[in-house]
């Protein structure tokens, strides 16, 4: 596929390479692209259309919902439930599996999504995004349950994200490398702007929320201490730090110029009864698929994210992802204890 081709062309071509795929997969990716275009428009208009600020509610994980968390969730559902490509959906912003209303045609794919990642950044006009993961429905039926979604990340058919930044970008993998598409708003199409994206194996840039430093486990503390020590420590090179607080933006930076991103387990998270901050089904797995397809690694520090057998829809996991040699170093530090 050549640079400059449309996302529509690309997915039609891609589908030809997927065994047993019908026009349904093309249709589904198209539905996702349409919802991302709509969300991009809402994000851009922001305060002009009164979508900023808190919704006054909490999601199932006890997080304050922004108005846009709810609006974007609805945009995704509306785009995905109508065309017969989807069996069921699950979202960070919905308590339970979303089953299609009676009478709607059920498709063969299940979609999990984080409709607006980094939503706290909406109000301050910093990049946000939509993350999605596509799984095969285990069987055709009317009503799906959590159990149907309990598939490890290695079974994902496709995954990606849309980043709403200075440009709106769709980043996609169908298991055949990573492609980037930039939205040309003049004629409303995503155009391929990068193919075969590769994350550099080494980096001098790390991303972690340093305010949690006192709660970290020893391997994470050791790794970051060494980065901060720079040329005066074991690493013998100076590092730079970034923290956007939108995972989509961090992953995009890492795909573009390398880096390591970490949201590890820590004492504060454990005390709250959680196993991590980020969600396996909506954030970690789709990003792991993209990052691994670009030659990077995605791990908890103690195991490959995509091999985790999910046990709960809203399961959380520690995440360490990015440039191969740096992530491997963090894994090694966990082994050394």
Quote the Cα angle for 43-166-201, to 5°.
Answer: 115
81 binds, among Mn ion, ligand AHG, none (CB under 5 to 8 A by kind): none
Please identify, using beta-carbon distances, which residue of 161 and 223 lies nearer to ligand AHG.
161
Q: Which does 245 bind (CB under 5 to 8 A by kind): Mn ion, ligand AHG, none?
A: ligand AHG
Give the residues lining the site for ligand AHG (CB under 6 A): 63, 92, 114, 117-120, 209, 245-247, 263
Instruction: State the nearest-atom distance from the C-beta of 169 to ligand AHG, in Å.
Output: 16
- Residue 256's binding partner among Mn ion, ligand AHG, none (Cβ under 5 to 8 angstroms by kind) is none
State the residue number with the nearest CB to Mn ion: 117
The CB-of-247 to Mn ion minimum distance in angstroms stands at: 6
Nearer to ligand AHG by Cβ, of 92 and 148: the residue is 92
Q: Per this entry, what is the length of the chain? A: 337
Q: Whole-number minimum distance, CB 78 to ligand AHG, in Å?
A: 20
How far apart, in whole angstroms, are the C-alpha atoms of residue 55 and residue 328? 40
The smaller minimum CB distance to ligand AHG, of residues 35 and 246, is found at 246
* Least distance (Å) between residue 118 CB and Mn ion: 6
Binding footprint of Mn ion on the chain (CB under 5 A): 92, 114, 116-117
The distance of closest approach from Cβ of residue 212 to Mn ion in the complex, given in angstroms and rounded to an integer, is 17
CB nearer to ligand AHG: give 30 or 65.
65
Name which of 321 and 331 has its Cβ closer to ligand AHG. 321
- Closer of 23 and 53 to ligand AHG (Cβ): 53
Residue 111 binding: pick among ligand AHG, Mn ion, none (C-beta 5-8 Å cut-off by kind): none
**What does 246 interact with, of ligand AHG, Mn ion, none (CB < 5 to 8 A by kind)?**
ligand AHG
209 binding partner (options Mn ion, ligand AHG, none; Cβ < 5 to 8 Å by kind)? ligand AHG
Which of 106, 244, 219 shows the shortest CA–CA distance to 165?
A: 244
Minimum distance between the CB of residue 147 and ligand AHG, rounded to whole angstroms?
24
Q: How far apart are CA 33 and CA 49, in angstroms?
A: 22
| CB 19 to Mn ion: min, Å | 32
User: CB nearest ligand AHG: which residue?
Assistant: 247
């Amino acid at each position: 596929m050549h640079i400059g081709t449309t996302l529509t062309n690309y997915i039609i071509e891609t589908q030809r390479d997927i065994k047993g795929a019908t026009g349904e997969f093309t249709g589904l990716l198209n539905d996702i692209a349409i919802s991302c275009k709509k969300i991009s428009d809402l994000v851009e208009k922001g305060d002009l259309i009164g979508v900023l600020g808190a919704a006054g509610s909490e999601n199932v994980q006890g997080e304050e919902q922004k108005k846009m968390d709810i609006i974007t969730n609805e945009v995704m559902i509306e785009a995905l439930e109508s065309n017969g490509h989807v069996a069921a959906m699950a979202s960070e912003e919905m308590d339970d599996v979303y089953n299609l209303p009676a009478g709607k045609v059920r498709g063969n794919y299940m979609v999990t999504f984080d409709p607006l990642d980094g939503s706290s950044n909406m109000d301050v006009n910093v990049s946000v995004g939509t993350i999605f993961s596509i799984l095969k429905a285990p069987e055709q039926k009317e009503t799906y349950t959590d159990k149907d979604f309990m598939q490890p990340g290695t079974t994902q058919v496709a995954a990606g994200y849309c980043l709403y930044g200075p440009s709106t970008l769709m980043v996609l993998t169908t298991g055949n490398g990573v492609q980037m598409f930039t939205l040309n708003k003049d004629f409303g199409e995503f155009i391929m702007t990068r193919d075969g994206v590769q994350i550099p194996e080494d980096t001098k840039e790390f991303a972690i929320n340093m305010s949690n430093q006192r709660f970290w486990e020893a391997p994470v503390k050791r790794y970051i201490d060494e980065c901060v020590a720079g040329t005066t420590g074991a690493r013998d090179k100076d590092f730079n730090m970034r923290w956007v607080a939108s995972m989509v933006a961090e992953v995009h930076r890492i795909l573009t110029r390398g880096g390591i991103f970490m949201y590890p387990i820590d004492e504060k998270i454990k005390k709250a009864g959680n196993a991590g901050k980020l969600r396996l089904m909506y954030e970690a797995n789709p990003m792991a698929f993209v990052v691994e397809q670009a030659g990077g690694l995605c791990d908890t520090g103690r195991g490959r994210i995509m091999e985790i057998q999910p046990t709960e829809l809203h399961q959380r996991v520690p995440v360490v992802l990015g440039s191969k040699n740096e992530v491997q170093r963090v894994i090694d530090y966990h082994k050394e204890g």
